Each structure stands twice: as C-alpha cells, then as structure tokens.
Amino acid sequence: MDDILLDPAGSGGEFGHVKLNKKGSFKDFYKVGSILGEGAFGVVRLVTCKSDHSKWAVKVIEKSKVDPGDHSLQTEIDILCRVKQPNCICLREWFDEPTRVLLVMELVTGGTLLDHIVNSGHFNEEVGRTIFRDLATGLEYLHAHGIAHRDLKPENFMLSSKSPDARVKLADYGLSKILIDPAGGNEKTVCGTPSYVAPEILRCMTGKEETYNAINADAWSLGVNLFIILSGYPPFWRHEQNQKKLFDAIGRNDWSFDQTCWKDISVDAKSLIKGLMEPDVEKRYTVKQALQHKWCAETAIYAQVQKSGTGRAIQNSFDPPGYWAQEHW
C-alpha cells in the first residue's frame, strides 16, 4: 500500500526533508501561545522559540481529519520547503508526529487583504499598484519554480504587519500544484474558488477541452484580484449568487468597468486588467508581462485605503455562508 494512504504527510514529499526537524519534539523547541485562527483540519497558534524568543505561527494539522489518499498535505509541505521569497509565506521548519503535523511559519500580523477590503473599502490606485506588484512578484517566483497556486483570492493574501508599508504575501498552498510540465500545460484537475476560475478551466469541466495551462489560469485569477483591489467588488458580481450563471458569465467574458468608481482609475490600470482577463490564452498577459506593463512599472507610493462603501458590498455580493472557504465545486 502507498505510504501516503497511511500517513497524509507522506514525509513532506521530495523536499520535505529539507526543513523537517528530527532533533526533538515540537514542545522541546517552542512555547505555545494563543490561538490565531482555526480551520477544517486544525488550528493556528502563536508560538515562541525557546532558544531566541522569536515569534512564529504554527499550523497544527490533525492527520485524522485528512481524507485517506489525499495528497494535498504532502504537496503543501513539499511546496513550503521549496519556497523562499519575501512575497510568499515561508516555512521555518516542520514536525511530523504520529497524530499531527506542525508547520512553523513566519508570523504575519496585518490580517488578510479580504479583511481590509471588507472593513474599509477598495484601495486607491497607488496603493493598489504596490499591492499588485507584491502579489505578482510572489506569483512569478512560484511559476519560475514550477508551482501553480490555483487559488488566488484576497483571503489568501496576507499583510506582514499593520504598518502602512506592510508587504503583501501569497499564502495557503493547499490547492497548489508542483507542475509536471514547468510551463504549466496539460493540467486536468478542476479546482479553485468559482469567482476566480479561468474560462479554460470551465471548458475542461464541461468536456469542451481536455487540458489547460495552470500558469495561464493563475494569470487570469491575478487579473480578477486586481479588479477587486481597485474597485472593492468582483467583476462577475451580478451572478455571484447563482453558480451556473456565474460560470456562464465567465465563459462569455461578461464583465465591465461600468460602476462609478472606475471613473477615477487610469486607462493603464484598466488595460492591465483586460490583458490578464483575456479569454484567449494565447493573447493573455503572463505574470512576467504584467510586471513589465506600463502601469505596474510606474512608481508606486503608499497611501491610505479609500473608504468607498464597496468594502461591505464585496462580502454581501459573493459571500454566502461558507462561500469563501469553498475550494472545489
């Protein structure tokens, strides 16, 4: 029997050994503090390193809660052990215990990008440019290392601190994929969060196409996120409550800059969104091209979040109970 069926950690995959701590138990090295968050598979806690008193976050995953044969935990550990980039949440080390896995992650204290949008509104264009550049830089790094994120959305973007110059980081590699084809092609798995899924993935779901390019699909999702960052609402907001209509709208590329907030957004910003949300994958911008785009290359300054009233609307328009936690459909 395959070991992964018995142990969902699967030794952390190909790179798991790089950061696996075998020198002792977790509690030999860390003092456990308060709960930072909870999820379906476990809890995240604040911890303090006993040797140097540094603060970290530990993600505790109960193995019994992971479905037999599910490779996602093994893949997540494998990816975390490969990633070392300022715009990606990184792993310090991990512990493999008989009943649980403990991932010691860098501590970020600024909350999620979704929190900021829902509570305060959309970001002005200068701040949006800085946020986007952080996200695109982290995503380009993943792609360069043969990794597709596959679930890009504001709740998976973390702010390093509450400071105005906080760095934005990609997080949650639970649906990410170490690509067989480093260029991203020949993918078949249909996954992600519906509002952000690229049209070619939907064509695979309906059998119109057999495979898609996961790196190109990430670029589409990045464009959706830039739309939200600058406006405070999702591009397919009219159809968020009906998944069939939502998927039809994505397939038709039925979105626009018709709301009043877009009057103050530059032509260059809109051009970049259009380039990333191009339904023709041959014409769609890559993440690298997005970073080289005129709008992204211009000097960005830090400023305040704009209070727009659309922040709450983003939650109301596509946040029915459990929706933001949805990963498959």
Q: Which residues are catalytic?
A: 151
| Helix ranges restricted to H, 235-282 | 243-252, 267-276
Q: Is 63 annotated as a binding residue?
A: no
Inter-CA distances, 9 with 16, 41, 103, 263, Å: 9, 13, 11, 50
Is 55 within 8 Å of 48 (Cβ atoms)? yes
| Helix ranges restricted to H, the chain | 3-6, 26-29, 72-80, 113-120, 125-144, 199-205, 214-231, 243-252, 267-276, 287-292, 294-297, 310-318
Angstrom distance (rounded) from CA 310 to CA 234 = 10
Bridge partners (DSSP) listed for residue 170? 88, 157
With 0-12 CB in 10 A as exposed, 13-18 as middle and 19+ as buried, what is 245? middle
Inter-CA distances, 150 with 94, 125, 218, Å: 23, 26, 6
- Binding-site residues for ATP sit at 59
